[in-house]
Structure 1
């Protein structure tokens, strides 16, 4: 697959590259975990990220698989770790970022359709998703969940140096040349994306428009792996 790669390195090391969206036609949790298990008995993972984020439930499954794996993990944010990709980056100890890389955190964002009760149920779901994600950031940074929640509400974009100052990264390295463009429609949803990052994310080639990504309007597309407390025929939740 072109969207991510895992390979065994020297002895008990492995290199993992996530260079696409989380979920959708990108990095699915099912394939990721299958390939992770196939690596066998490894003790260290080098996880390289250049991703605009994606589906929250797929991302949580990937995060949990890495968090409980047992191997030590070094995360390299090679270009951008936005949205759900930034949550996955929190498994790293250390997290290493070039000066010209970025990380973005924001509130859970998604779409639903239905009556007023469906809307209220969906709003409650988004609040629950945020409550699940907050500890990942707080544990890494040492910030309180209230401090993290304020940063999420503001769609916070941070350079490598800013991530280091706020505790999201442990080391900043010299700037590297621009990474290859990511094919994604994320630029349509992010409100405060720096132009230097916007130019790195291009619309997918030969892909049909995705109804659920047209903006903050109700989606007509059901989630494939809905939370058990939500009607999967009417609710779609993502961190985009």
Structure 2
């Protein structure tokens, strides 16, 4: 899970992995030392039940969290976490999804019985948490919301069911859609994640400093060194447009530059989507959705979405799970890392950026 702190606001975005409960607790404690009016902005498809429970407990116990805002999706364990507080709000185009915890196990009959017992206890906790905030009986929740199916709630429906306390304006524009009609559930999360998850590019380390120098030299507004290339270019074009230039040759040059940038960007988006179709990540008929993401959020955001599609999805309440730390990773390529150990690959980008860049270039530079 990505945690980003801005003054008294903590943005919690992404899948809840093993260890994220401790990570969230540490970040919350640091912010609590400085602020008494903390706002949690949540966007998650769920993940580890154990870590999610820890996040629920520390949020529930905090005396300094003023409100919790669902800014995209609060699904699975994310829905339970959202019930840890009073003053819970959801953006108008957001969704919540509730279903029972799931897991897997192997071994003897005794092992399997132990797993069943654990899942039943988790489900009981879910019922109690949901009952406390909605006023519905645990029996009703068990029969209607934890019956084995995914139950999606729009902001209006969540408010009607007392799952939230109010509806707030959207933080980002996502076309209205019915999540229950989307075949790939990861697509529901990706539609928002593409607009929230920080950009990850093969040359980010080298380009951040260059972006910073350009931004300072041109006094660009609304962007920083962490902004996408698309956003910086747009800010640069806007800055030039605001200058009092009457020279017709300059105006033509500016128009030609914008047209060239648009052409290059559209071509890159089309190429990335075409590769995703060939790789079987998306269907041909889904191309318009991803074209919109590429044009509005930038090429880096589109690459992040497709990269996440290769990521192994964690199972809520995972039993005897995790990656074998003894596997030989020396021969792994980009796709192997994404499939077998995505969190390790994220760490590799920081610990050994040269190796990460080599793998990235081997994947995308043809």
Instruction: Name the TM-score class by shorter chain.
Output: 0.7 to 0.9
2:45–2:189: 8 Å Cα contact kept in structure 1?
no
Please give the residue correspondences for 1:83-232 in structure 2 after superposition, counting only pairs within 5 Å. 83-149=76-142, 150-153=144-147, 154-178=149-173, 193=185, 197=189, 199-200=191-192, 202=305, 204-205=307-308, 209=312, 221=321
Normalising by structure 2, we get a TM-score of 0.49
In structure 2, how many angstroms separate the alpha carbons of the residues matched to 1:109 and 1:18? Answer: 23
Secondary structure at the counterpart of residue 31 of structure 1: helix
The structure 2 residue matched to 1:31, chosen from 23, 28, 33, is: 23
Structure 2: any 5+ residue segments left out of the alignment? 194-304, 324-366
Show CA shifts across 1:102-155 (max 9, x none): 001110111111122211111111000111222211111111111222212232
CA contact (8 A) 1:157 1:192 kept: no
| TM-aligned CA distance change 1:124 to 1:206, over 3 Å | closer
Report deviation, 1:54: 0.6
Structure 1 residues 138 and 161: alpha-carbon distance in aligned structure 2, compared to 1, 3 A threshold: same
Highest CA radius of gyration, 1 or 2? 2
Equivalent-residue separation in structure 2 for 1:6 and 1:97 (angstroms): 20
Per-residue CA deviation, residues 179-237 of structure 1 (Å, 9 max, x unaligned), is: 6xxxxxxx9xx989596556446464597646x65xxxx976269xxxxxxxxxxxxxx
* Structure in which a larger fraction of residues adopt strand: 1
Shift in CA distance, 219/169, structure 1 to aligned 2, threshold 3 Å: closer
2:12 — aligned with what? Answer: 18
The CA distance in 2 between the partners of 1:142 and 1:166, in whole Å, is 9
Moved more, 197-206 or 82-91: 197-206
The structure carrying a bigger helix percent of its residues is: 2
Question: Normalising to structure 1: TM-score of the pair?
Answer: 0.72
Count of residues in correspondence between the two structures: 202
Aligned mates of 1:207, 1:194 — CA distance in 2? 11
Q: Which structure is higher in RCO with an 8 Å CA cutoff and minimum separation 6?
A: 1
Q: CA RMSD, aligned part only?
A: 3.2
Aligned CA distance change for structure 1 residues 144 and 203 (closer, same or farther; 3 Å): farther
Please give the alpha-carbon distance, in whole angstroms, between the structure 2 residues aligned to 1:197 and 1:205: 10
